[in-house]
Amino acid sequence: MIRINSDKLFEEAKGLIPGGVNSPVRAFKSVGGSPVFFSSGSGAEMTDVDGNTYIDYIGSWGPHIFGHNPPFITEAIKKALATGISFGAPTSVEVDMARMITSLVPSVEMVRMVNSGTEATMSAVRAARGYTKREKIIKFEGCYHGHADYFLIKAGSGALTLGVPSSPGVTEGNAKDTLVAHYNDLSSVKSLVEANKGDIAAVIIEPVVGNMGVVIPEPDFMNGLRKLCTDEGIVLIFDEVMTGFRLSQSGAQGVFNIVPDLSTFGKVIGGGMPVGAFGGKKEIMSVVAPAGPVYQAGTLSGNPLALSAGLAALTHIKNNPGIYAELEEKGKALEEGLMDVLKKLDLNYTINRIGSMVCLFFTNEPVRDFTSAVKSDTALYGKFFHEMLNRGIYLPPAQFEAYFISTAHTGEHLESTLRAAYESLSKVS
Ligand code: KE4
């Protein structure tokens, strides 16, 4: 595939934007080569600035659960645009959005809108610290909760992809209050809790990990974590920025029937526009300013134009619960198709999937935590990525990410993807 216009744009971008991109994981650092610049998206497909079309499995890193530019979202944006973009004052759509989120997610009694997943998670931690008057938090190695200082310790996603899970610029003072446990290992959490009795404000976890590739919690792990937090007065925060409204109408917590104390959201709730949210027990959320003393703010928080897109997405979800059966069917078809391809080629790489989140790990071992995930052959993944890219399949440019299927992906899209996977894997393996 010829991509001269992308390459030209990237050369100019590198002189103007750090690394030529506005978010590191887009830069192809771990897979090599130069990023593709896109000009349009429609349904499950995107077209780059050189006119090449791709089947898209990134979906803007999760928001596009209905594919690009679904009419019910674009129409909602156009309608909102006609009456204004932003007021910096309360609007009715903010009440509609809060009502929608609290109606879909039973554990969320009160919610605050923000502008990104990072704002949601950093604010939720601050609320938990303000509510418990404790300072330390526990996160899990390989989980990614955005780029707030206290999360960039053994983080996943782009931080892991770039080989900098603990970022420079994060001070000792900040890092000392972030304790790191191991996913699917309850004893590692219990040890930290025992060693820091009464000092831990919150445990924050991706209830399904999408940022070290897809890693699924084991039943006793999540139930044990819930009990431990209840017993110790620790706020359990489910970071559902990626899983929220993707895995069910009430995210991963609806799949596992576990009630967190706070939840964070992003991606799907913005319909592709910049929206995040955090919410949960009214007793905890009531510490957030101006109801309480824990300060949290944002010029464009609850922006009516962005919320019009998000509300359209959530309204569609509320009115069409059948989409999850559709996404499960399509996810299963892709997973089983990939397993057939691996079998035909006598390969036994690991595939983890839940609903419409899939990951092919280039390792023969099961992947259940950070240690097992990083055994994947990232160089081989890079070769596979480019073979697929040149066959018109746009996968995440990093092994430690999730492929996202949308309702816009058709059987033909999946068949083309599996054909390309067979050709690509037979070439690189
Ligand atoms: P944002 O600040 O990027 O909106 O959200 C941060 C975040 C928080 N929590 C979870 C579970 C997340 O997955 C994310 C962001 N996800 C990455 C993709 N793995 C965003 C892609 C990027 O960094 O460009």
Instruction: Tell me the pLDDT band of 429, cut-offs 50, 70 and 90.
Output: confident
| Phi, psi dihedrals of residue 175, rounded to the nearest 5° | -65, -30
* Least confident span in 62-71, 88-97, 162-171, 268-277: 162-171
Helices marked H in 259-322 — which ranges? 282-285, 304-319
- pLDDT in the model for residue 154: 81
What are the chain's domains?
4-69+322-428 (3.90.1150.10), 71-319 (3.40.640.10)
Q: Is the pLDDT of residue 377 over 90?
A: yes
Label residue 168 exposed, middle or buried (CB < 10 Å: 0-12, 13-18, 19+): exposed
Give the three-state DSSP class for 390: coil
Q: 164 pLDDT exceeds 80?
A: no
CB of 206 shorter than 6 A to ligand 1: yes
pLDDT band (50, 70, 90) for residue 163: confident
Tokens 């974590």 sit on residue: 225
Percent of the chain topping pLDDT 70? 100
Local structure of residue 254 (DSSP, 8 states): H
Going by pLDDT thresholds of 50, 70 and 90, the confidence category of residue 166 is confident
Determine if ligand 1 sits within 6 Å of the CB of residue 280. Answer: no
Q: Report the run of H or E that residue 422 belongs to, with start and end.
A: helix 411-428
State the pLDDT confidence band at 156, using cuts at 50, 70 and 90: confident
Whether the per-residue pLDDT at 158 is higher than 90: the answer is no
Mutate which of 22, 25, 61 for ligand 1? The one with the most ligand atoms within 8 Å of its CB, which is 61
Instruction: State if residue 141 touches ligand 1 by the CB under 6 angstroms criterion.
Output: no
Would you say the CB of residue 161 lies under 6 angstroms from ligand 1? no
Taking the CB of residue 26, how many other CB atoms lie within 10 A of it? 19
How far apart are the C-alpha atoms of 131 and 292, rounded to whole Å? 10
- The pLDDT of residue 274 is 98
Give the β-pairing of 200-205 and 393-394: unpaired
Return the pLDDT at 167: 85
Region label for 364, one of left (φ > 0), alpha (ψ between -120 and 50) or beta (otherwise): alpha
In SS3 terms, 207-253 reads as CCECCCCCECCCHHHHHHHHHHHHHHCCEEEEECCCCCCCCCCCHHH
Q: Is the CB of 417 under 6 A from ligand 1?
A: no
**Token pair for 210:** 């999408």
Substitution candidate for ligand 1 out of 157, 206, 239, 400 with most atoms within 8 A of CB: 157
- Helix/strand/coil for 346: coil
Closest C-alpha residue for ligand 1 atom 20: 61
Alpha-carbon distance values, 266 to 36, 273, 302 (Å)? 24, 10, 13
121 pocket-lining for ligand 1 (C-beta < 6 Å): yes
pLDDT of residue 406: 98
Q: What is the pLDDT of residue 212?
A: 97
Catalytic residues: 144, 239, 267
Which residue in the block uniquely carries the two structure tokens 């206290």?
150
Q: Whose CA is nearest to atom 5 of ligand 1?
A: 117
- Is 117 near ligand 1, meaning CB less than 6 Å away? yes
pLDDT at 183: 98
Q: What is the pLDDT of residue 18?
A: 98
Tell me the pLDDT tens digit for each residue of 184-233: 999 999 999 999 999 999 999 999 999 999 999 998 999 999 999 999 99
Distance 399 CA to ligand 1 centre (A): 15
Residues 405-417 as b or e (16 or more Cβ within 10 Å = b): bbbbbeeebbeeb
Q: Which two tokens stand for residue 193?
A: 């809790």
Predicted local confidence at residue 171, as pLDDT: 87
**Residue 261 in this model has a pLDDT that exceeds 90:** yes
Tell which one of 21, 28, 30, 145 to mutate to probe ligand 1, the residue whose CB is within 8 A of the most ligand atoms.
145
* Residue 146 Cα: closest atom of ligand 1: 6
Q: Which atom of ligand 1 is nearest to the CA of 266?
A: 4
Ligand 1 neighbour 243 (Cβ under 6 A): no
Strand 350-354: give its sheet, edge to edge. 350-354, 357-361, 403-404
Q: Name the band, by pLDDT with cuts 50, 70 and 90, for residue 396.
A: very high
pLDDT at 165 over 80: no
| pTM as predicted | 0.98
Structure tokens at 166: 């603990």
- Calculate the average pLDDT of the chain: 97
CA 60 to each of CA 26, 249, 295, 367: distance values in angstroms, whole numbers, following the listed order: 10, 20, 30, 25
Which residues have CB under 8 Å from 189's CB, separation 6+?
138, 181, 203, 225, 228
Residue 181 CA to residue 166 CA, distance in Å, equals 14
* For helices 92-104 and 304-319, angle between their N-to-C axes, nearest 10 degrees: 30
pLDDT at 174: 87
Evaluate the CA torsion angle 82, 84, 86, 90 in order and state its sign: negative
Residue of 249, 313, 297, 230 whose CA lies nearest to 102 = 249
pLDDT digits (tens, 9 = 90+) for 331-353: 999 999 999 999 999 999 999 99
* The pLDDT of residue 219: 86
Whether pLDDT at 308 is above 90: yes
- Mean pLDDT of all residues in 140-149: 96
Strand 350-354 to 357-361 pairing: antiparallel
